[in-house]
Amino acid sequence: MDAELTTQVDDLASLIRQASRAVAFTGAGLSTECGIPDFRSPGGLWTRNKPIPFDAFLASREVRSEAWRRKFAMDATFSAAVPGRGHRALAGMVRSGRLAGIITQNIDNLHQDSGVPDGQLIELHGNGTYAHCLDCRQRYDLDWVRGRFHAAGGQAPDCEACLGPVKAATISFGQAMPEEEMRQAVRWTLSSDLFLAIGSSLVVYPAAGLPASARQNGARLVIINGEETPLDAMADLVIRADIGTVLEAAGDRLAASGLS
Ligand code: NAD
Ligand code: ZN
């Protein structure tokens, strides 16, 4: 780690130490070290297929079947992933009380897998490790969907209870944000005095509006991301470096300084 990055990590650890209510906001860049491609980087799984908008999913079984085909193709990557250095460092900060909570755009369940309790985690874009009926909310395991899909020759299954469409429990483009999660995320954002935006290109709204609201409300804003974001100019600290390296080092500094 070069001298400039060392100084930035020291600054990050000090800001976290001084904060009375720090909140982290995480995006796909946190999980690339776990082998899950992010959305926009070249070579990402999503650059090969344009995302399927929500209305198209609802409108035709053919599109739903295509959505499930893609989901199963990506699922090996998702289910093999385990929390990385970044997830572990953030979970450690939650455990030690340094971090009040984590708001995530990720759908990979890796914050939960790293031990962050449900009450300290908000998933804004849902969770890709299970499915549900869009009409009656009945929950389905991916294995159940996969079994039905293959038995029907590659056709998307319907809900057993109400015949509604069954979809991965994630939020698609064009689908409404989950209301309660969004309200709670706004509450956490406005009650934070330090907001850490980590691994997000900060271009997907409304989620990307949270860091800006935190800053406007008087919180310190830190942006940790490998590339520039539209909010860099308003941040108190911008660390443009590898996320796992930065968070692990910051976690080590905090652990070394104890709770004083
Ligand atoms: P994004 O793809 O728009 O941005 C990710 C950012 O992280 C990029 O700017 C990239 O340069 C940076 N990055 C990647 N690896 C990094 C590393 N090791 N160190 C530093 N920077 C790194 O992601 P987003 O803004 O979170 O939006 C994508 C949306 O797609 C999300 O809202 C999410 O719902 C979904 N998604 C989720 C996952 C997941 O759950 N892991 C993965 C891909 C996409
Ligand atoms: Zn149903």
pLDDT digits (tens, 9 = 90+) for 21-45: 999 999 999 999 999 998 876 666 5
Distance from residue 111's CA to the centre of ligand 2 (Å)? 28
Higher per-residue confidence, 123 vs 45: 123
At a CB cut-off of 8 Å and minimum separation 6, what does 204 contact?
105
Domain range list for the chain: 1-35+83-125+177-260, 37-80+128-170
Dump pLDDT digits (tens) for 3-25: 999 999 999 999 999 999 999 99
> What's the CA gap between 61 and 152, in Å, rounded?
12
Query: Beta strands 220-224 and 237-239: pairing type?
Result: parallel
% of residues, the chain, pLDDT over 70: 96
Active site residue 150: no
> What's the CA gap between 211 and 223, in Å, rounded?
9
Which residue is listed with tokens 């109400």?
162
Domain spanning 37-80+128-170: CATH superfamily: SIR2/SIRT2 'Small Domain' (3.30.1600.10)
Dump pLDDT digits (tens) for 164-201: 999 999 999 999 999 999 999 999 999 999 999 999 99
Q: In the predicted model, what is the mean pLDDT of the chain?
A: 95
Domain spanning 1-35+83-125+177-260: CATH superfamily: TPP-binding domain (3.40.50.1220)
> Does residue 119 register a pLDDT over 90?
yes
% of residues, the chain, pLDDT over 90: 89
Dump pLDDT digits (tens) for 85-116: 999 999 999 999 999 999 999 999 999 999 99
| DSSP structure class, residue 80 | H
Provide the residue count of the chain: 260
pLDDT of residue 47: 63
> Does residue 48 register a pLDDT over 70?
no
The reply to whether omega before 51 is within 30° of 0 (cis) is no
Distance from residue 162's CA to the centre of ligand 2 (Å)? 4
pLDDT (average), residues 208-235? 97
Residue 175 beta carbon below 6 angstroms from any ligand 1 atom: no
Domains 1-35+83-125+177-260 and 37-80+128-170 share a fold: no
Residue 27 beta carbon below 6 angstroms from any ligand 1 atom: yes
